[in-house]
Homo-oligomer: A and B are copies of this chain.
Amino acid sequence: MLILSTIKPKEELINKMNTLFPKDEFHYYRNMEEAQHELKNADILITYGEDLTPELVSIASKLKWIMVMSAGLDQMPFDAIQEKGILVTNARGIHKIPMAEYTISMMLQVIKQNKRFIEQQNQHLWKRTGFQTGELFGKTIGILGVGAIGGEIARLAKAFNMKVLGVNRSGKLHEFTDQMYQVSEIEEFLPKPDFIVSVLPSTDETKYLLSEKHFNLMKSDAIFINIGRGDLVKDEVLIEALKSKKISHAILDVFEQEPLPSDHPFWDIEQVTVTPHFSSKTDMYLPRSFDIFEKNFQIFKQGSNEYINKIDLERGY
C-alpha cells in the first residue's frame, strides 16, 4: 500500500513505521506541493489537514483514508471527501499534555516573575528586595471549557493545591474541579479566579463570548490565559481591560489574526505574554500522532471499523 505523507517526521519515526509495516510504502514530503504528483496512487494520506482542496481529492482516485495529524478540521473539503466515501480520522487527544504543561509553565512564569530574573541575570544583578513573587498554592484557577484539555489542566492545578472552578455546557462536576458553572452562570464565575484560562474552540456560542462587562467582573489581579481560539474576545476589549488595569496580565497563545501582525499592540504591552500558537507543539506531537496512525492502520488492515477518532463527515467532528 502507498501511504503518502505531506508531513516529514524525524528519521526515528520513519524507521519505526518501516519496522512496523515492512510491506507498505511510506513516501514523506514536506508539503502538498512536493507530494502532489503521487496523490493519484496514494491509498492513504497523512496531512495536517490544511492542504486539501476538492480538486486534489478528485485526483486522489485510490484514496481510502485521510489521517489528519491535528484536531482542527475546519479547512477540510468535507463534501468532496464524503462523496468519495473516504475515511477520515484525526489526532484528537494528543493536545492535552503539552497544553496543560504550557498553562502551568506560563502561570508560574508570571507569578514567579521569571522575566525579572532573566533581566537581572542579563544585568549581572543580584537583587532580592523591592519585589515579591507568588505561588500557585492556594490560588483559584477558573477553566473555560472543561473537556479533555481543560480536565488535564484541572488535574495538574489540583496537584499544586489550587482551587479549581470550571465552566462548560452542562455545568456537571468534573473529577478534578471543585465547582462547575454553566455558560449561563459565567457572571457568577468570573469574580472568583486568580487565573482564568480558556481552552474554548471557536463556535457560534464562543465567538466574542467575553466582552467588556466580563472583564469588569474579574479580579483586578487576575491573570487571563487564552490557549483556545483568538476570537473569544476582541483585541480592543482585551487591550482596554489591560490598560485600565481591570486584570493584571494576559498570556496569549491564540489571536484573532494569526500570525499576529508585527505592528500589533500586543507585542509591546508589558502585561501581555505572546507565544506563537505553540501551546500544543512539543517534540512529542508527531510521535503521539503517529501512535494513533499506527493503531488505526492495524485496524484498517484488519478491515475492522473500530477506529480511534473516526470523524463523522455529516457533523464534521
User: Which residue of B is nearest A275, CB measured?
Assistant: B117
Q: CB within 8 Å of B: which of A40-87?
A: none
Q: Which residue of B is nearest A156, CB measured?
A: B159
Q: Does A179 contact B (CB under 8 A)?
A: no
Q: Tell yes or no: A21 within 8 A of B by CB.
A: no
CB-based contact A134/B278 at 8 Å: no
Residues of B contacting A159 with CB < 8 Å?
155-156, 159
A118 in the interface (beta carbon within 8 A): yes
- CB <8 Å contact, B102 and A267: no
Report whether B133 and A282 are in contact in the complex, using a CB–CB cutoff of 8 Å: yes
Q: Is the CB of B127 within 8 A of A283?
A: no
Q: Is the CB of A283 within 8 A of B134?
A: yes
- Segment of A12-20, A107-115, A199-207 engaged in the interface with chain B: A107-115
Contacting A120 at CB < 8 Å: which of B104, B134, B276? Answer: B276
Contact flags (1/0) for A130-168 with B, using CB distance below 8 Å?
001111111000000000000000011001110000000
A3 to chain B, nearest CB (A): 24
- Does A301 reach chain B (CB closer than 8 Å)? no
Quote the shortest CB–CB distance from A65 to chain B (angstroms).
Answer: 28
Within 8 A of B (CB), among A272-304: 273-278, 281-284
Indicate whether A101 sits within 8 Å of B276 (C-beta atoms), given known contacts A114-B109, A126-B260, A281-B128.
no
A155 to B158, CA, bound (A): 12
> For the complex, is A237 an interface residue (Cβ under 8 Å from B)?
no
Q: Which B-chain residue is minimally distant from A268 (CB atoms)?
A: B124
**What residues on B are CB-neighbors of A155 within 8 Å?**
159
Distance A80 CA – B118 CA, assembled complex (angstroms): 43
B126 lies within 8 A of A259 (CB): yes
Task: Provide the residues of chain B in CB contact with A267, threshold 8 Å.
Answer: 121, 124
Name the B residues within 8 Å of A278 (CB-CB). Answer: 117, 128, 133
How far is B97's CA from A260's CA once the two chains are assembled, in angstroms?
37
Measured between beta carbons, the chain B residues less than 8 angstroms from A97 are: 135, 137, 161
* Complex alpha-carbon distance, A127 and B268, angstroms: 17
A245–chain B nearest beta-carbon distance, Å: 19
Q: Are B275's CB and A134's CB within 8 A?
A: no
A305 at the binding interface (Cβ < 8 Å) = no
Nearest CB in chain B to that of A285: its residue: B132
Known: A105-B109, A128-B277, A128-B281. A118 touches B117 (CB 8 A): no
Is A98 located at the chain interface by the 8 A CB criterion?
yes
